[in-house]
Amino acid sequence: MTENTPGGAPSPSQPSGGAPKPPEPSGVDLARVALRAAKEAARARGDAAQQKKQARRGGLRSGARADGRDPMALGSAINRLITERGWEAPAAVGGVMGRWPQIVGEDVAKHCVPEKYDEDERVLTVRCDSTAWATNLRLLAPTLVARLNEDLGHGRVKLIKVQGPGGPARRYGPLRAPGSTGPGDTYG
């Protein structure tokens, strides 16, 4: 079944080497290829439209696989936040304030309470309930600074500022005149 042209040469549809060339796709095959390409394009457009729609609704939804948007444990979220913001030192000092009785001892902790930590100056402020305990803590301050730096890392606390007891809270009673500053305001 070879077709020959009138000159006896093989037709252009069959190569001269003898191996038959695969036939060109016919009308039905071309339609199938075009349909497959159209379906893939429509699927891609649909996926893009779905992603845009989800983004408008508040973000993409998580699927069955692990994703960066999945919920995480509270402890790991807090640790990541502390690391990202550079809050390691204040968080460590806050931990010391929570463990104050274990660091200084129960007797001292009953009478002296840490109030604040200044990260820039690296000063821990401690308030005592009596002047005697404030004096005692001033004498213990170098030892406490060494113990705190051992726990937190070298140089985190340079100084412990000890404050004595504050005066009594000002009382506002029913006989107080609005706008007055106290007994010194009587004559003028």
What's the count of helices (H) and strands (E) in the chain, helices before strands?
6, 3
- β-pair partners for 124: 117, 160
Would the pTM count as exceeding 0.85?
no
Distance, in Å, from the CA atom of 122 to the CA atom of 145, rounded to the nearest integer, reads 11
Q: Distance between CA 146 and CA 158 in Å, rounded?
A: 9
pLDDT given at position 138:
92
- pLDDT digit string, tens, across residues 86-110: 777 777 777 777 788 888 888 888 9
Buried b (16+ CB within 10 A) or exposed e, 33-64: eeeeeeeeeeeeeeeeeeeeeeeeeeeeeeee
Q: Which residues contact 47 (CB under 8 A, 6 or more apart)?
A: none
What is the per-residue pLDDT across 108-156, written as a single tens digit (0 to 9) for each?
Answer: 889 988 888 887 888 889 999 888 899 999 999 999 888 888 877 777 8
**DSSP-derived pairing of the beta strands 123-128 and 112-118:** antiparallel
For residue 60, pLDDT over 60 is answered with: no
The token pair at 129 is 């309930």
Q: Report the greatest alpha carbon distance in the chain.
A: 137
Looking at per-residue confidence, does 109 or 48 come out higher?
109
**End-to-end alpha-carbon separation of the chain, Å?**
130
- pLDDT band, very low/low/confident/very high, at 188 (cuts 50, 70, 90): very low
Q: Which residue has the higher pLDDT, 81 or 94?
A: 81
Tokens of 66: 């692990």
Question: How much is the average pLDDT of 156-183?
Answer: 72
- Name 161's bridge partners: 125
- Quickly count: other Cβ atoms within 10 Å of residue 104's Cβ: 21
Helix (H) or strand (E) holding 138: helix 131-152
* Distance between CA atoms of residues 167 and 147, nearest Å: 31
Tokens linked to 167: 């005066």
